[in-house]
Structure formats: C-alpha cells, structure tokens
Amino acid sequence: MKRTALGLAVLLALVAMGTTPVHAAGHGHQKVRKVGILLVAFGSSEQSTQVSFDNIDRKVRAAYPGIPVRWAYTSTIIRKKLARQGKMLDSPEVALARMQDEDFTHVAVQSLHTIGGAEFHDLRRTVGAFTAMGAFERIMLGYPLLATQKDMERSVDAILGIIPAHRKKSEAVVFMGHGSHHPANAFYAALMFQVQRRDPNIFIGCVEGYPPIDEVLAMLQEKKIQKVYLMPFMSVAGDHAKNDMAGDEPDSWKTILTEAGIECELILKGIAEFDSFVEIWVDHIQGPLAHFDQ
C-alpha cells in the first residue's frame, strides 16, 4: 500500500516536471514555441580543422533556415586549450542550460560523431537528464554519421566520391577511422565490407580500435598493393590525422606502410570538409525536428 502511494507520488512529480515548465512559465503565461539546434562535436584545438566545423555550420543553417544553431564540444581538454586561446566553447550541458535560460522549448541535439560509441552515449545521458528535468517541452538526439543501413550506403557513395580521381584501380585507399572500445566499433569493419563490394582496394582501419594498421597492412600485402592513398575517416584532419596517420614517428601509419615497401600519398582532409558526408549529419537533424511536429 505504502509502496503504491509512493509510486503514485513519484509519478505525479514526474508528470509535473514534464509539463509545468512549459505550460506554467511565469504567471500562467504559455511559453512561445522556440526551436533550436545544438551541434555537438568532440572538438579540435587545431586551427586548420575549423574548415570542417564551418562547413557543417553553413550547411545546417542553409538546410534549416530560421532555426538558431548552437555548438558544443564534448572534450574538456580541448575546451580548456581553446579557452587559453580566448575561444570559449560550451560543453553540451552548459549549452543546454543556456538554451533553457533562453526559453527554447524544443531542442534538436545533433551528434557530429562518426559512430554511436561512448561519446554518443554520454551525450544521450545528458539529453536524458535534461528530459528528466523537464527543461524543454521536447529534446531529442539525432543519430551520428553511421547508424542506419541507408547511412552506410550513403557513406559508401560518399567514400567513392572523395577518393582521388587520378588513383589507379590497382592502388589502394586506406582510411584511418578513430575506433573505440565501445561495441559500436564494429561499424568500421561493416562499412569496409560494404565499400569493398564496390571497390575491393578501399580499406578502413582504426587508430584506436579494430581493424588495427597491422591487419590493414596484412590485407594490402595479400593483394600485393604497392601504393596507397592515406586519408582520415574522421570529421576533421586533426591531431590523429597529422601525427598518427601522416607523421614521421616510427608508429605512424605512413612510416609503417612505407617501411613495408608501400608508397604513401597523404590526403589531409577531414570527411566533414566534403558535402556528401556533411549532408548525412545534416539530414539526421530531420529526425528530431519531425518528432517536434507530431
């Protein structure tokens, strides 16, 4: 009996939390509907990567005119580094608190991650917390780049569209993904499987996940590949691309492949510099926005 009463009280409290802020804002005034988009990236402290973020920002504003767009970076280290350069960026939590303060009623949070890995799920928890607080009438999270089978097919097309046109079919293209300890790491190998159905000499490895460079090298050697084009499969060509992929250190991919007798040509462009990839993230914002209209 006691338990039921408590359960009912909790339920009523939750219902109140979910509805009160919107309908009883101020003194009985109803809040005016205000929709916003929050773009969330890991972030980068490399100035050269700004081109990727600017491209996303431009495309999002063009696709959803009239909807205010805000940014947040999940990486504390990067935010602190940028702050020392006088560039202030919010965490998702601070950005959402600000949006709550500015009377947004509907927020589409768009992950700019590649896979639904650890960071995406951290962001999901943050969105869940703001939902529980009743901070907005609706708050929803959009999928990362690789989520549905349609995303995979679009990404395969996008990959085929950005590889160097002058490359010979006997030459390989090796993409460096980030990778993760999270189960969603499997998306990288799944994408490689699908892209190789179209072009068997395109490979996707991970700097911090599966498949590692040794395994990619073994595959290249099985096919007797003599030249590869190295490209990041990350939104930005930041620290990993410049150092772990293209650097002169003994464990960089360039060094490992070169020492194995494979010629390397480097392409230092993040995938968010290419519209075909940006459009996938941009289209994912439609998911939350469509729910707001229901």
Residues designated as active site: 178
Give all strands (DSSP E) within the chain, no chain letters: 35-41, 69-73, 106-111, 138-142, 172-177, 202-206, 227-233, 263-266
Alpha-carbon span 152 to 12, nearest angstrom: 43
Secondary structure of 221-283 in HEC code, one letter for each residue: HHCCCCEEEEEEECCCCCHHHHHHHCCCCCCCHHHHHHHCCCEEEECCCCHHHCHHHHHHHHH
The sheet carrying 202-206 orders its strands as: 202-206, 172-177, 227-233, 263-266
Q: Which residues pair with 151 in a beta bridge?
A: none
Given the DSSP bridges, would you call strands 263-266 and 227-233 parallel, antiparallel or unpaired? Answer: parallel
CA end-to-end span of the chain, whole Å? 38
